[in-house]
């Protein structure tokens, strides 16, 4: 959610029951403004909160002019002092996929994972048990990246693509209409498109290249992994992801207010197909 409209966004996203206490909110308002100044971001988003056993991580992201460029992620334990996280790489994701369970809440905590590695000495090849240490920071980075790639949502029309390349916020976006807001096809993944090129020419003919340049949520697998509800007496559309429980996207139809927040344990719900 945008740091500029933080209070309103928090209020609208509170239907899932997770919010922020007043002291956190106040600290966020101050520190996010400072972040924007210090790092010269174009937009600062409050990404959410990952609940750990001992402490929680508060995550913020900074965007540059091009909305789809890789974002800088920062974390904080007290909403005041922010530390920049390294960008996520493939190796990190692979490495941390073996770690299961909750986050500890201590960034310097190391998970120990024993794995068998083939070591070759000369002509002998034998397996040895190696204990690999994985830092919690790495895990944090990869989880945030996975969540962003999988379930970050933006409504159709909020961004538009110019022929010069960069993707801009659409200042004339007036919000989706009520009938559009209830359809999953009006929402896109807020990331580089992956499946767009697989569409047939017939489908592509109906698309508007300046608006429909991202994947829509319609074709997510498994089908039904999004729960779409109207709250507050039909004036607010809330999308909740079932794959990463804790991600809430809200949008007030016919207004510009939209945003998403993740408040959860940072674990993927692999049981989803059984639960639907």
Partner 1 sequence: MGDTPPDPEPRPQQPSSRRSSQVSQRRSRELSHLPPTISEEVPRIAFDDRVLQSGQGILASQNNFQDWSSGPPLTQQENLTMFQAEEDQLGGVEYPSLNMGFQPQPYLEEGGIQAARNTSLMQPLQQGQGSLFQQLNSAYLETQPNFLGQFNMYQGEDLQFNQGAPHGPYMRDDPALQYSPSELGFMPFNVEVPEPEPRELAVQNAKAYLLQTSVSCSLSLYEHLVNLLTKILNQRPEDPLSLLESLNRTTQWEWFHPRLDTMRDDPELEPTYETADRQKGLFLRSGAAGEGEQEMEEEVAETAVPNVMETAFYFEQAGVALSSDESFRIFMALKQLVEQQPIHTCRFWGKVLGLSRSYLVAEVEFREGEEEGEEEEVEEPMEGGEGLDAHAEEEGEEDEEEVTDVIPKPMWKPPPVIPKEESRSGTNKYLYFVCNEPGRPWTRLPHVTPIQIVQARKIRKFFTGYLDAPVISFPPFPGNEASYLRAQIARISAATHISPLGFYQFGEEEGDEEEGGAGRDSYEENPDFEGIPVLELVDSMANWVHHTQHILPQGRCTWVNPLQKTEEEEELGEEEEKADEGLEDMEQEVGPPLLTPLSEDAEIMHMSPWTAHLSCSLCPQYSVAVMRSNLWPGAYAYASGKKFENIYIGWGHKYSPENFNPPLPAPIQHEYPSSPEVMEMTDPTVEEEQALKAAQEQALAASEEEEEDEEEDEDEDLED
User: Alpha-carbon dihedral of residues 259, 260, 263, 264, nearest 10 degrees?
Assistant: 170
Q: Which of residues 232-261 bind partner 1 (CB under 8 A)?
A: 232-235, 240, 242, 245
Would you state the structure tokens that stand for residue 158, as one six-digit string?
């909020």
Q: Are 254 and 175 in contact (CB under 8 A)?
A: yes
Residue 5 in contact with partner 1, rule: CB under 8 A: no
* Contact range with partner 1 by CB under 8 A, out of 20-28, 91-99, 125-133, 193-201: 20-28
Q: Which residue has the tokens 């972040």?
A: 35
Select from 5, 64, 95, 265 the one that contacts partner 1 (CB under 8 A). 265
With the CA atoms of 180, 185, 191 and 197 taken in that order, what torsion angle do they form, in degrees rounded to the nearest 10? -140
- Cβ of residue 192: shortest distance to partner 1, in angstroms? 21
The distance of closest approach from Cβ of residue 229 to partner 1 in the complex, given in angstroms and rounded to an integer, is 6
- Judged by CB under 8 A, how many residues of this single chain contact partner 1? 53
Candidates 87-95, 106-114, 117-125, 176-184: pick the segment binding partner 1 (CB under 8 A): 176-184
29 vs 32: CA distance, rounded Å? 6
**Closest separation in Å from C-beta 126 to partner 1:** 31
Q: Which of 99, 255, 240 is nearest to 173 (CA)?
A: 255
- Our finding on whether 69 is near partner 1 (CB under 8 A) is no
User: Are the C-beta atoms of 129 and 116 separated by less than 8 Å?
Assistant: yes
Binding of partner 1 by 37 (CB under 8 A): no
Out of 34, 53, 194, 207, point to the residue binding partner 1 (CB under 8 A). 53
Contact assessment for residue 204 and residue 223, using Cβ atoms and an 8 Å cutoff? no
**Using CA atoms, how far apart are residues 260 and 247, in angstroms rounded to an integer?**
7
Residue 72 has a CB neighbour count (10 Å cut-off) of 18
User: Mapping DSSP to helix (H, G, I), strand (E, B) and coil, where does residue 51 land?
Assistant: strand
Closest C-alpha among 39, 78, 38 to residue 58: 78
Nearer to partner 1 by Cβ, of 54 and 98: the residue is 54
Report the distance separating Cα 217 and Cα 242, nearest Å: 13
Q: 100-119 burial, b for 16+ CB within 10 Å, e for fewer?
A: eeebbbebebebeeeeeeee
- Given 5, 64, 146, 210, the residue binding partner 1 (CB under 8 A): 210
Of how many residues is the chain composed? 276
Contact segment (CB under 8 A) with partner 1 among 65-73, 86-94, 123-131, 221-229 equals 221-229
CB of residue 62 to partner 1, shortest distance in Å: 22
Q: Is 165 in the site for partner 1 (CB under 8 A)?
A: no
Q: Pick between residue 132 and residue 252 the one whose CB is nearest to partner 1.
A: 252
Q: Which is nearer to partner 1, 60 or 88 (CB)?
A: 60
Is 223 a binding residue for partner 1 by CB under 8 A? The answer is no
Provide the minimum distance between the beta carbon of 179 and partner 1 in the complex, in angstroms, as a whole number. 6
- Give residues in contact with partner 1 (CB under 8 A): 11-12, 14-24, 51, 53-55, 78, 100-102, 160, 162, 168, 170-174, 177-179, 210, 224, 227-235, 240, 242, 245, 264-265, 270-271, 274-276
């Amino acid at each position: 959610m945008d740091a500029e409209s933080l209070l309103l966004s928090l209020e609208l996203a509170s239907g899932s029951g997770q919010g922020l206490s007043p002291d956190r909110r106040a600290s966020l308002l101050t520190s996010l403004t400072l972040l924007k100044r210090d790092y010269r971001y174009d937009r600062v988003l409050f990404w959410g909160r990952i609940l750990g056993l001992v402490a929680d991580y508060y995550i913020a992201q900074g965007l540059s002019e091009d909305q789809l460029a890789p974002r800088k992620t920062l974390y904080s334990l007290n909403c005041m002092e922010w530390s920049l996280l390294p960008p996520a790489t493939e190796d990190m994701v692979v490495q941390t996929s073996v770690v299961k369970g909750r986050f500890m809440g201590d960034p310097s905590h190391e998970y120990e994972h024993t794995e068998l590695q083939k070591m070759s000495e000369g002509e002998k090849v034998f397996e040895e048990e190696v204990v690999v240490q994985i830092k919690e920071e790495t895990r944090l980075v990869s989880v945030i990246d996975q969540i962003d790639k999988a379930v970050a949502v933006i409504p159709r029309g909020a961004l538009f693509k110019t022929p010069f390349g960069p993707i801009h916020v659409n200042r004339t976006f007036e919000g989706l209409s009520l009938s559009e807001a209830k359809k999953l096809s009006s929402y896109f993944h807020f990331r580089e498109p992956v499946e767009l090129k697989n569409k047939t020419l017939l489908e592509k003919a109906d698309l508007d290249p300046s608006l429909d340049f991202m994947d829509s949520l319609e074709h997510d697998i498994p089908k039904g992994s999004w729960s779409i509800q109207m709250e507050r007496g039909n004036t607010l559309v809330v999308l909740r992801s079932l794959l990463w429980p804790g991600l809430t996207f809200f949008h007030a139809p016919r207004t510009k207010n939209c945003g998403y927040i993740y408040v959860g344990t940072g674990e993927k719900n692999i049981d989803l197909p059984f639960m639907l």
